[in-house]
Amino acid sequence: MSSIALKSFLGLRISSPETPQFSYRPKPITHRRKFTVVAAATSPKIDGRNLRVAVIGGGPAGGAAAETLAKGGIETFLIERKMDNCKPCGGAIPLCMVGEFDLPLDIIDRRVTKMKMISPSNVAVDIGRTLKSHEYIGMVRREVLDDYLRNRAKENGANIINGLFLKMDIPKEKNAPYVLHYSSYDGKTGGVGEKTTLEVDVVIGADGANSRVAKSIDAGDYEYAIAFQERIKIPDDKMAYYEDLAEMYVGDDVSPDFYGWVFPKCDHVAVGTGTVTHKGDIKKFQLATRKRAEDKILGGKIIRVEAHPIPEHPRPRRLSGRVALVGDAAGYVTKCSGEGIYFAAKSGRMCAEAIVQGSANGKRMVEEGDLRKYLEKWDKTYWPTYKVLDILQKVFYRSNPAREAFVEMCADEYVQKMTFDSYLYKTVVPGSPLEDIKLAINTIGSLVRANALRREMDKLNV
């Protein structure tokens, strides 16, 4: 990372005689075609003010981006439509997020150190034995986390605006500003907001799965899963079981291509499931999930029902001009586990860092090439993680036999260690080759056995 930074600054100094011109000089076309463009060298210096960046959406992605931008000396505007939004979300954050984003430990409601995977035939496997005492999965309330990140951004100098983003005017000239139209709710109590406009140089779209910024730049659509969740308040003795344990249910009854879950929250559990291919049957899947967890949530009362789309893959276009998408708006949710909070915050931060560097702390105008650096870095750093999870989903969520094999594999200590290491620290760790070979053989064995049983099952009652 430091070498990239060095390159752009070096570029500035080397060609400095020709750079201090802020007229709209057409850039040489050759720069555009090159991948690793050192755009800051030829971008005009802004006169009299800092670069203005708007971050649309105040979730983890928006909050992290706004904080990094504000720290970098950029005039930041964070537009969020509902400051106390209680997002329907699993709420699980990996350990590395606490360190990387300096999260205070009191916003973590629970530390999950045990997980139970339950196969279609109810074989239950406990995972988490390999976790060290300081390792855990943090369960947070989204409203608490989002609020904390936004406040930190505010403390660093970002302007937090309570408003609903409506649309954006794409500039016609090269360095003209983007005009954002939004309904401002600031200073109003209820009712319709006041239509306001804001001129900025760069826009970061962090407004989630139904992103309007993405629509404005024609980013294209993605396939998405529907995640449906019921928050259930269960009796205290049952809640004690979920003190530090989360459950994952797999099976065709629970979801044809995802999993059902019971995650503990602050004082209740969230029971939910999701699907991409059979969205119409989501209620049926939810009933099945509740049935599978029935004994453990007996006597519970549903206090809230929520649903939300989860992107399955990135949008075809994550960047256009000086508008970049981050987080769910870009589609950075992993397959297999459906994890999005960490990647949202990290992508927000990465994008903001690219803007800070490309603009030399807000002194120069950025252009698309600077923002592309964020995409490049992101793809390079996290592509292995995404691909591995995609492969896991394709192999193990295919059918009931595959899920049975999956749960059987999870009983293995090596698998648990690898899984948790890669989940908690977000790096694909290469394990020992001998263990990998053993694991491969065991996986194939499990898959073969489960499929053989499935063939027997098909012969019965046919």
Partner 1 sequence: MSTTMSMSMASFSPLTRISTTYSSLSKPHHHPNHSNNHFTLTLRPKNLPLLSLSPLRASAGTSDSAETAVKPPPENISVGTNGSASAVPVAEEVKVSSAFVDPRWVAGTWDLMQFRKNGTTDWDAVIDAEARRRKWLETNPESSSNDNPVVFDTSIVPWWAWIKRFHLPEAELLNGRAAMIGFFMTYLVDSLTGVGLVDQMNNFFCKTLLFVAVGGVLLIRKNEDVDTFKKLLEETTFYDKQWQATWQDENSSTSRKD
User: If residue 324 lies in a helix (H) or strand (E), which one and from where to where?
Assistant: strand 323-325
Q: Candidates 7-15, 94-102, 104-112, 440-448 — which segment interacts with partner 1 by CB under 8 A?
A: 440-448
Instruction: By CB under 8 A, name the one of 83, 123, 176, 266 that touches partner 1.
Output: 123
Which of 36, 361 has the CB closer to partner 1?
Answer: 36
Among 83, 299, 427, 444, binds partner 1 (CB under 8 A): 299
Should residue 379 be labelled a site residue for partner 1 when binding is judged by CB under 8 A? yes
Q: How far apart (Å, rounded) are the C-alpha atoms in residues 397 and 377?
A: 30
448 binds partner 1 (CB under 8 A): yes
Based on the shown chain and the rule CB under 8 A, indicate whether residue 414 belongs to the binding site for partner 1. Answer: no
Among 300, 327, 340, 348, binds partner 1 (CB under 8 A): 300
Give strand pairing partners of 53: 76, 202
How far, in Å, CA of 12 to CA of 449, rounded?
62
Give the residue among 409, 449, 420, 401 at the shortest CA–CA distance from 125. Answer: 409
Residue 185 contacts residue 163 (beta carbons within 8 Å): yes
Starting at the edge strand found earlier in the chain, the sheet holding 245-249 runs 114-118, 245-249, 260-264, 269-275, 224-233, 301-311
Near partner 1 by CB under 8 A: residue from 74, 79, 288, 345: 288
| CB burial of residue 22 (10 Å; 0-12, 13-18, 19+) | middle
294 binds partner 1 (CB under 8 A): yes
Taking the least distance from each CB to partner 1, the nearer of 103 and 217 is 217
Separation of alpha carbons 228 and 261, rounded Å: 10
Enclosing H/E stretch for 436: helix 433-459
Residues 145-184 that bind partner 1 (CB under 8 A): 174
Residue 445: CB atoms within 10 A of its CB come to: 13
Residue 253 interacts with partner 1 (CB under 8 A): yes or no: yes
Residues 337-376 interacting with partner 1 (rule: CB under 8 A): 368-369, 372, 375
* Minimal distance, residue 20 CB to partner 1, in Å: 23
The nearest distance, CB 134 to partner 1, in angstroms, is 27
Q: Does the footprint of partner 1 cover residue 390 (CB under 8 A)? A: yes
Choice from 81, 346, 373, 426 touching partner 1 (CB under 8 A): 81
Asked whether 167 and 142 are in contact (CB, 8 A), the reply is: no
Least distance (Å) between residue 369 CB and partner 1: 8
Binding segment for partner 1 among 8-16, 29-37, 186-194, 430-438 (CB under 8 A)? 29-37
Q: Which is nearer to partner 1, 155 or 218 (CB)?
A: 218
d(CA 91, CA 399): 27
Residue among 152 and 364 whose Cβ is closer to partner 1: 364
Name the one range near partner 1 by CB under 8 A: 12-20, 63-71, 129-137, 314-322: 314-322
In angstroms, what is the minimal distance from the CB of 287 to partner 1? Answer: 6
* Residue 60 CB, nearest approach to partner 1 (Å): 17
**Contacts with partner 1 in 36-65 (CB under 8 A)?**
none
Question: Of the candidates 345, 348, 341, 338, which has an alpha carbon nearest to the alpha carbon of residue 318?
Answer: 348
Structure token digits, residue 319 = 């960047």
Per rule CB under 8 A, is residue 115 in the interface with partner 1? no
CA-nearest of 205, 201, 144 to 175 is 201
The distance of closest approach from Cβ of residue 92 to partner 1 in the complex, given in angstroms and rounded to an integer, is 20
Q: Is 287 in the site for partner 1 (CB under 8 A)?
A: yes
Of the ranges 46-54, 91-99, 349-357, 403-411, which one interacts with partner 1 (CB under 8 A)? 403-411
Q: Classify strands 159-169 and 75-80 as parallel, antiparallel or unpaired.
A: parallel
Q: In terms of CB distance, is 210 or 361 closer to partner 1?
A: 210
Cβ proximity of 342 and 53 under 8 Å = no
Dihedral sign computed on CA atoms, order 187, 192, 193, 195: negative
